[in-house]
Chains A and B, each alone.
Chain A
Amino acid sequence: MTSAAAPARPPSRWRRFGPRRRLRSTPAGRVVIGLTFAVGFAAFNTGNNLLFFGWGLLLSSIVVSGILSEATLRSVTLSPRGAGEARARAGGALTFVVKNHRRLPAFAVDLRAPFEPATTAAPVDPARAFELRVPPGSERTVELRFAPKKRGVLRVATARASTAFPFGFFEKDKLVPLEPPLDVVVLPARVDVAAEARDLLARMGEAPARRAGPGDELFSLRPFRAGDDPKKIAWRRAARTGRLVVRETEAARSNDVILELCAAGAAAAAVDHAVDVAGSLAEDLLAAGHAVGLCAPGIASAPAPGPRQRGALLTQLALLDARAEKPPLPARRAVVVAVVAAGASPPPHAALVVRAERLA
């Protein structure tokens, strides 16, 4: 996630008359407005006092509805608190704190955070949450959920708190500009690469680390020390020598893996799928303990293990621009895994090749 400065906006001349509001009628509200006109006509026409009473009921429900929704919106404030991890086709959440300043509870607060249209990601529905009740004088952390379709950056410049309480005739919005706007990086979608990862791990094999550690091969025998696992005692040797000795295994060293994304000449959809595959492979390899780097258009990342590297690689893949030039592979000893997008050429050098082709 990154933050960006707010673009300069011309001040609205309506701002001077009060807070920004947007009012729109719901289908039920339109029925009520129509009824109000019809009953008002009938009341004037017939002079029936009970019709005047009914007309008064309709008018007052409209007015009371407006007053109450305004009171609810005035009492509620929104503060952004960042965003969680967002993945394409999986969903994400923006975190806001909703505070009710009144002594009365606020009901039916609908929170929306629309995404700016000019972002690298595909258009996406606003992040949304609905609070049935915000207790008086309290604040709660609310997650506004959204479902991005593609990787990229989403920008939220405004949030909206709206309510149609109590009658649902009108929906009133309170516009809350976010200064600075909130940028959300949508990570590539997670795809099933279990078979490919298994195949890669088998073909790479294990590298001995020349030190003791968890592994399968015998490394050495050493005298027993307090705290050693009794299961590791070499009983035959102990019987022969009269001293307790334990077996030590040799640790297996993780491989350095460079994922090479080959996307030149591929269609945009194929590139996106290849990015998804590369990201998922990177996650699986990192989870298996390997150090993973990335060589892709505009990206050259050295192999490194751990969750920090996972975040870095996925973010780089999310922001990948396929039109950028691909840097050369780093001159170091590493296993190169080429993820080839459909329609792209495989690399001329030796590499383990994974073809990222969509089944459908």
Chain B
Amino acid sequence: MYDIKAIYEAKTIKDASRLLLEHKDAQIIAGGSDVLVQVREGKRAGKELVSIYGLDELRGVKILPNGDIKIGSLTSFSCIIGSDIIKEHLPVLAYAVEQVGSPQIRNIGTIGGNTCNGVTSADSASTLFAYDAMIEISGMDYERIIPISEFYISAGKVDLKEGEIQTAIIIKKESYEGYFGRYIKYAMREALDIATTGCSVNVKLSPDKKYFEDVRIAYGVAGPVPMRAVNAENFIKGKEVNEENIDSFANEVLNDVRPRDSWRASKAFRSHIGVVMAARCLSRATELAGGDVDGRL
């Protein structure tokens, strides 16, 4: 038995905004795989809920005429994993969301919910950061699009103002074209687990595959919100593809990440695996991009 004060079902995106403006304390619910857990824990007990789960216009993956990829916020993880567009252009995102929970959770959980929940450990978040994803937001009579790095404000808090819902996640063509990526979820179990740390890297090599033209690396659980390791990225850009540079890049990450000590894992341990993951992600992504990393995997 759940302690829910009332539930309102939005019929359209505008309707959702109206309901949210009418019920200022209401919580948006999509698949419910986070919200219902929070209600049960008492964190969101006794609240009004506005369900947007019936808004089919928010589902699906498509390529826009300009080549950008648009993922509706209500698209389930399972649908992302199965999407031909994602498989072809953003395989690393498919892999990342395949690490979420279990088949049941991936069927009900949505990528919009995953990002709006505002937690640093979300499996989709580090890869979306690494792809410079844009977040599409709809208000009562307007739309706005912001970079994902601005969407996350602090732990559990995202940039959704009164009456706003997130409607889509957009990956620009220039962000994915020519890039190859790798995500490692470091967790204590192979399923049904939260990331101790997540690391997503994508890389674009020079035409001769000898130099790193661009590298983007993002972490989950290396700080209160998902984050990019900017120092490391700047270090590696333009450098030659070799093992030594990859190792230096990985160590450079320590100038960016801010892991903390908690009972779940110590700072020393998180820092150590953060470095190992950076090296392994970049090596693998480089290999996928056709680079030669001294025969190492």
A and B together in one complex: no
